[in-house]
Chain A
Amino acid sequence: MTIELTSRPLLAAGCRLGENNQQRILQMPERALRLNGPSLEIVTRCDGKHTVRQIVSELQQIYSKAQPRKVEEDILGYLALLQKERALDFEQ
């Protein structure tokens, strides 16, 4: 499955941000992912309002020292991972 730059990712039902001992976590059915730096920046933007393209552009600004192309690849890779975990719905 490919991820469209114009779609708007939204955390799926039962997937939400949590916290334990100052560590931010993505809570999912029977699973949890620790979120740090870029992964937290991505997940907080999966709100059904940001398009994938907007997420890419905002993170390219935050991580302006990294190559823009590399930032985009990393974001698409991370969204694909979350999609495989069934943690995202994509709104058009």
Chain B
Amino acid sequence: MPHELSNPLALIAELTHRCPLHCVYCSNPLELQARNLEISTEDWSRVFQEAAQLGVLQADFTGGEPLARTDIIDLVRAARAAGLYINLITSGLPLDETRLSALIAAGLDHIQLSFQGAQEGISNEISGTKSHGQKLRVLEWIKQHRVALTLNFVIHRRNIDQLEEMVALAESSSATRIEFANVQYYGWAFANRENLLPIREQLDRSMAIIKREQERLEGRIRVEYVVPDYYAKYPKPCMGGWGRKLMLITPTGDALPCHAAQVIPDLSFENVKERSLREIWERSAAFQKFRGEDWMQEPCKTCDRREQDFGGCRCQALLLAGDAAATDPVCSLAPLRPKVDAILAAVNLAPVSVVAPPPNEPLTRPSWLYRPNAG
């Protein structure tokens, strides 16, 4: 079927893989890119201009920790000059009051401050760093400014029972948005999956809490919830469809259709130092690969939902089915759904610890695989 090309709406700018945290579910690839390979301020500035011309409305500054870039103020200024709206997705660690003021003066629109939990113990365990106290300080500094704030909580078995405390933390801040995003199982999270997947009872409880809080906070704080798709009936419309809405640029300038695309074999990626964003978006093999419907297999090919979820996630298909063109195995209609059910059954039957141990009992902790820092 001929496919009408839309323009991307958001640019995910992965400015660096460097990060002071070592989160056990980090979405960065297992092979991190080093500082000396990162593209320059000038390269990024040109990318922002090209993105705006291509129709992109917003830039998500992320990483790694985007504040690890010493030129972050210049990058904010450049993106704003290009006409983009700027979301900064940060741990808040490399931040002080002066730098915060400078970022906002340069045109930063929205801060997404990531939290690993509502309590110090679990937060520090998950991030492999003493980080929680600094985040609480950052919340106080932000109150002095007129800037949008989202508190972002990555949710998993060890903190999903603390949603109410997380909401209370948000209510004590100037946040107008809370994002509860269940871990998605790629990269580091895939490696730590057995210790991260919530059990079904936890998930059911969490859904009831979210619904109640969404109603209570309407008009004051938007509460968004991303369910773990292993428990879903249908797959997520990953990235809003391959090559339809989003473009991700890695720290070294490679343009990807999604965060995890590098796991898919035989895909090669164009670099913004060699090609314009428009050329990459419209013509590169990687962006064409799973665009539209021609690549689909049954049951997606004839499914009524194919324009809603686009067959789900290509990287998840590769990770679970060994074939990036397969129906996402989390779909209840997928031939490989029994494999996902088996993973869930193992997690739900095993006697798992759902309560974070006190910090002085390291032996009861799961044996996490922590991500290292990029060189």
| B109 x A86 contact (CB < 8 A) | no
Known A20-B57, A27-B85, A32-B58: A14·B110 in contact at CB below 8 Å: yes
Tell me which residues from 30 to 88 in chain A have a Cβ below 8 Å from any Cβ of chain B: 30, 32, 83-86
* Residue in A closest to B111 when the chains form the complex, CB atoms: A14
| Chain A residues within an 8 Å CB radius of B222 | 85-86
Flag whether B55 is at the interface (Cβ < 8 A).
yes
Flag whether A91 is at the interface (Cβ < 8 A).
no
Known A1-B219, A29-B177, A83-B219: A18·B148 in contact at CB below 8 Å: no
Query: Measured between alpha carbons, how far is A33 from B267 in the docked complex, in Å?
Result: 34
Flag whether A92 is at the interface (Cβ < 8 A).
no
| B147 x A14 contact (CB < 8 A) | yes
| Chain A residues within an 8 Å CB radius of B149 | 13-14
| B146 x A20 contact (CB < 8 A) | no
* A83 CB → nearest B CB, Å: 5
Flag whether B247 is at the interface (Cβ < 8 A).
no
Query: Measured between alpha carbons, how far is A83 from B220 in the docked complex, in Å?
Result: 8
| A21 x B55 contact (CB < 8 A) | yes
Does more than half of chain B's interface fall in helix, strand or loop, or is it mixed?
loop
| Chain B residues within an 8 Å CB radius of A28 | 148
Query: Measured between alpha carbons, how far is A51 from B57 in the docked complex, in Å?
Result: 30
**Contact-size category for B:** 20 to 34
| B57 x A84 contact (CB < 8 A) | no
Q: Tell which of B9, B112, B148, B218 touches A15, judged by Cβ atoms closer than 8 Å.
A: B148
| Chain B residues within an 8 Å CB radius of A27 | 57-58, 85, 109
| B85 x A32 contact (CB < 8 A) | yes
Flag whether B68 is at the interface (Cβ < 8 A).
no
**Contact-size category for A:** 20 to 34
| Chain B residues within an 8 Å CB radius of A83 | 219
Flag whether B286 is at the interface (Cβ < 8 A).
no
* A88 CB → nearest B CB, Å: 9
Flag whether B83 is at the interface (Cβ < 8 A).
yes
Flag whether B27 is at the interface (Cβ < 8 A).
no
Query: Measured between alpha carbons, how far is A22 from B149 in the docked complex, in Å?
Result: 28
| Chain A residues within an 8 Å CB radius of B220 | 86
| Chain A residues within an 8 Å CB radius of B258 | none
* Residue in A closest to B56 when the chains form the complex, CB atoms: A20
Q: Tell which of B57, B83, B109, B218 touches A14, judged by Cβ atoms closer than 8 Å.
A: B109
* A37 CB → nearest B CB, Å: 20
* Residue in B closest to A19 when the chains form the complex, CB atoms: B83
* Residue in B closest to A12 when the chains form the complex, CB atoms: B176
Flag whether B62 is at the interface (Cβ < 8 A).
no
| B110 x A29 contact (CB < 8 A) | yes
Tell me which residues from 84 to 140 in chain B have a Cβ below 8 Å from any Cβ of chain A: 85, 87, 109-110, 112
Residue of A14, A19, A27 with highest tally of chain B CB at under 10 A: A14
Known A16-B109, A20-B83, A83-B219: A32·B9 in contact at CB below 8 Å: yes
Flag whether B150 is at the interface (Cβ < 8 A).
yes
| Chain B residues within an 8 Å CB radius of A12 | 148, 176
Flag whether B199 is at the interface (Cβ < 8 A).
no
* A16 CB → nearest B CB, Å: 7
| B9 x A13 contact (CB < 8 A) | no
| A29 x B147 contact (CB < 8 A) | no
| Chain A residues within an 8 Å CB radius of B55 | 20-21
| A14 x B58 contact (CB < 8 A) | no
Query: Measured between alpha carbons, how far is A25 from B57 in the docked complex, in Å?
Result: 9
| A86 x B221 contact (CB < 8 A) | yes
| Chain B residues within an 8 Å CB radius of A25 | 57
Known A25-B57, A27-B58, A29-B150: A18·B83 in contact at CB below 8 Å: yes
10 nearest A-B residue pairs (beta carbon): A14-B148, A27-B85, A29-B110, A1-B219, A86-B222, A14-B110, A29-B148, A86-B176, A13-B146, A32-B57
Apart from A13-B148, A13-B176, what 15 extra A-B contacts exist at CB < 8 Å? A13-B146, A14-B148, A16-B85, A18-B83, A18-B85, A20-B52, A20-B83, A29-B87, A29-B112, A29-B148, A29-B150, A29-B176, A30-B177, A86-B176, A86-B222
